[in-house]
Structure 1
Amino acid sequence: MKSLKNEIIARICYTDLVYDRINKKLNSELSNDKIEEIIGSVINETEESDFQQKGKNVYITNKARNIRLTINSNTFRIITADRLK
C-alpha cells in the first residue's frame, strides 16, 4: 500500500491558473518551474504526520517553511499554497 505522501509525489499535477494563484498568495513572482521545485521540496521535507486529509482535499503543513499546501485528493492537483499565520 502506497503512503499518501508517495502517492502525491508520484501524481501531483498543476493547472495554468494555479501558478498565478500561488504567486498571488505567496506575494511573489516565481516562474512555473520554480513553483514546482518549491512545492516538491515542501512535500518531500514535510513529515507524513503533517498531511491531513479532510473531505476531498489534503492539507500539507510545513511549519519550517511557514507554508500550507492544499491538494485535491482525487486528481492530485495542487489547489493553492498559503502562508501560515
Structure 2
Amino acid sequence: MNKINYKKEILENICYTDLVYGRINKKLNLALSKDQIEKMILTIIKETDEIEFHKKGKNIYINNMDRNIRLTINSFTNRIITAAKING
C-alpha cells in the first residue's frame, strides 16, 4: 500500500475485533458503545491530514494532534489495534 493511499484504504476497509472496543475505552478513559467508538475512530481518521499517517513495520500510526490521540492500525488487515493519548 502506497503512503498516499493510507487514508483512503483505511477508511474503506477498517475493521474491529471484539477486544479492541474495551481496549480503546480503557486507554482513552471512556465508556462508549461499539457504535460510538467506530464513529469516533472514523471521525478522527477523516479529520487527520494524510501527513500524520506513518507506517512503521506492520503498523500505521495516525497522530491527531487536535484530539491528542494516536491510532494504531495493522497495515495488512486495516484492523484497528488501539488508540492512545499522545500527551499523557
Bin for the TM-score computed over the shorter chain: over 0.9
User: Aligned residue for 1:28?
Assistant: 30
1:76 is aligned to 2:40: no
TM-score (norm 1): 0.97
5+ long unaligned stretches in structure 1: none
Which residue, 12, 17, 32 being the options, matches 1:10? Answer: 12
1:56 partnered with 2:44: no
- What is the TM-score with the length of structure 2 in the denominator? 0.93
Shift of 1:75: 0.5
Note the C-alpha offset of 1:11.
0.4
C-alpha distance in structure 1 between counterparts of 2:37 and 2:24, whole Å: 8
Q: CA RMSD of the aligned region, Å? A: 1.1
| Worse overlay, 2-11 or 23-32 | 2-11
Unaligned runs of 5+ in 2: none
Partners of 2:6 and 2:69 in 1: CA distance: 19
What SS class does the counterpart of residue 3 from structure 1 fall into?
A: helix
Aligned residues: 85
Q: Percent identity?
A: 60
